[in-house]
């Protein structure tokens, strides 16, 4: 029986700015650092064997802070946030003016809409699940430090039909979710939504 311990990175300036950002690479704010320190306190009581993190600064910095067991971290592009393509760096209102047709398409078919020069939510989920199936031993406890979209696609994959539950989860910056695997079946075991 193993666990996937999902940790969302701490806050960045772009989180507070309310813009679309996935592959843009901001650092943690002071509040983001404090959120990571609170997550570290939760993780001190948990046993884990490996830490994987998105290679983007916000996740890497969070992983460095939470690493209370001094385990070697493995950074990977597979745990990066969705690439919003042409939407990156814009607020929703700005997108309505600049890319109204694309915004409409993204709302009508949000699972499959491929953000121009980016990727779709479905592609993000395939990337995240392929990583888990290829890299993780589900009989051991592993920490994944990653992003909102990645966490929601993983939770939706294990607890609904594909992406049906994608919008039902709300893990805040610095939040932790634990999936425990018992006889190969996932159980949502713990939730610390952060903030």
Q: What values do phi and psi take at 114, rounded to 5?
A: -95, 105
From the CB of residue 39, how many other CB atoms can be counted at a distance below 10 Å? 27
The catalytic site residues sit at: 9, 81
- Judged by DSSP in three states, 147 sits in coil
Q: How many angstroms separate the CA atoms of 48 and 67, rounded?
A: 10
Q: How many angstroms separate the CA atoms of 179 and 142, rounded?
A: 10
Contact 142, 48 (CB under 8 A): yes
């Amino acid at each position: 029986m193993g666990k996937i311990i999902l940790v969302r990175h701490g806050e960045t300036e772009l989180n507070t700015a309310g813009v679309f950002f996935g592959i843009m690479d901001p650092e943690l704010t002071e509040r983001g650092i404090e959120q990571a320190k609170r997550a570290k306190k939760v993780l001190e009581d948990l046993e884990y064997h490996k830490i994987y993190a998105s290679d983007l600064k916000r996740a890497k910095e969070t992983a460095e802070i939470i690493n209370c067991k001094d385990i070697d971290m493995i950074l990977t592009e597979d745990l990066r946030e969705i690439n919003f393509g042409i939407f990156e760096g814009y607020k929703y209102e700005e997108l309505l003016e600049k890319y109204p047709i694309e915004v409409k398409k993204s709302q009508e078919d949000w699972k499959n809409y491929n953000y121009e020069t980016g990727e779709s939510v479905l592609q993000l989920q395939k990337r995240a699940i392929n990583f888990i199936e290829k890299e993780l031993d589900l009989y051991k406890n592993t920490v994944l430090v990653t992003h909102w979209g990645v966490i929601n696609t993983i939770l939706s994959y294990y607890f609904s039909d594909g992406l049906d539950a994608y919008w039902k989860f709300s893990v805040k910056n610095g939040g932790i979710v634990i999936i425990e695997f018992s006889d190969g079946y996932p159980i949502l075991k713990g939730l610390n939504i952060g903030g």
